[in-house]
């Protein structure tokens, strides 16, 4: 239960991707009538199962924790949204990224190799392989990243998405999938301890890549949402202001739901 509450209070997680044959992956037209949004449906350790939208107007992620939005005009803030109680919380972007990447240390590599990759629908992509020196002084592969090129996303949006993915923007185009050979950090009494041996982990894998016509509602803070007092209020309150009754309802209803599910 404690881990569940921590997950709620921190946010937002092996097959080939399925891509739309209708995709035009060039984004960034200033004309609202023709403006497109890049849509990624991905799965993996980073965001669990999520839909990611990227455009010149910003970034939006929707997964089991709700939604998060980032806008270039306020680059230091990520807005967390909870559709269930229609509240939002403005979190410093640096804290949001730390929460998102809390299980992984930064990727270290000594060199990169690149090769063309053709996705199943014929879209041209790039496979970037990252190498580092292992304990035995031999070179080992530490990551494989699939990137889309020529998306025409603004540098600020590209920078923020690379920060989410834990990849330096100078070395990668738009990363849409990543496998890393890493030790996942283990949390023990709020301290970080390396756990076990390195293993290949799916950080993010796209299930679908396509484009959508821009709708103002896609990348805009809803006007009918209330600002939550804090992150706990965002996820556990009914109206953005956490009350004692909200906590009682949460801890009472969770075991009840589990019991009901077990009797079905």
CA terminus-to-terminus distance, the chain? 22
Are residues 214 and 55 in contact, defined by beta-carbon separation less than 8 angstroms? yes
Burial class (CB in 10 A: 0-12, 13-18, 19+), 122: exposed
- Comparing 105 with 127, the larger pLDDT belongs to 127
The size of the chain, in residues, is 264
Q: What is the pTM of this model?
A: 0.77
Kindly report, residue by residue over 6-53, the tens digit of the pLDDT: 444 343 333 333 333 333 466 655 555 578 999 999 999 999 999 999
- Residue showing tokens 């299930």: 207
Kindly report, residue by residue over 9-19, the tens digit of the pLDDT: 343 333 333 33
Q: Name 188's bridge partners.
A: 191
Are residues 126 and 146 in contact, defined by beta-carbon separation less than 8 angstroms? yes
- pLDDT score of 146: 95
- Gap between the Cα atoms of 68 and 63, Å rounded: 9
Q: Name 143's bridge partners.
A: 130, 180
Kindly report, residue by residue over 156-200, the tens digit of the pLDDT: 999 999 999 999 999 999 999 999 987 666 544 444 444 456 678
């Amino acid at each position: 239960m404690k881990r569940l509450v921590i997950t709620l209070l921190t946010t937002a997680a092996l097959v080939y991707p399925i891509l739309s044959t209708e995709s035009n992956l060039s984004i960034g037209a200033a004309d609202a009538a023709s403006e497109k949004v890049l849509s990624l449906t991905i799965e993996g350790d980073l965001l669990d199962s999520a839909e990611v939208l990227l455009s010149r107007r910003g970034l939006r992620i929707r997964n089991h924790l709700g939604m998060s939005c980032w806008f270039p005009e306020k680059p230091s803030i990520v807005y967390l949204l909870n559709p269930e109680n229609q509240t939002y919380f403005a979190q410093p972007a640096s804290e949001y990224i730390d929460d998102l990447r809390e299980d992984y240390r930064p990727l270290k590599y000594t060199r990169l190799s690149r090769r063309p990759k053709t996705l199943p629908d014929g879209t041209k992509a790039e496979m970037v392989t990252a190498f580092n020196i292992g304990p035995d002084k031999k070179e080992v592969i530490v990551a494989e990243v699939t990137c889309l090129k020529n998306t025409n996303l603004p540098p600020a949006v590209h920078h923020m998405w690379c920060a989410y993915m834990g990849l330096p923007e100078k070395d990668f185009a738009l990363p849409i999938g990543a496998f890393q050979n890493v030790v996942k950090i283990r949390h023990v009494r709020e301290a970080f301890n390396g756990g076990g041996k390195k293993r290949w982990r799916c950080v993010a894998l796209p299930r679908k890549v396509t484009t959508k016509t821009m709708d103002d509602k896609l990348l805009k803070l809803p006007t009918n949402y209330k600002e939550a007092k804090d992150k706990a209020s965002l996820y556990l309150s009914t109206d953005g202001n956490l009350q004692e009754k909200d906590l009682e309802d949460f801890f009472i209803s969770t075991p009840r739901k589990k019991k009901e599910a077990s009797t079905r």
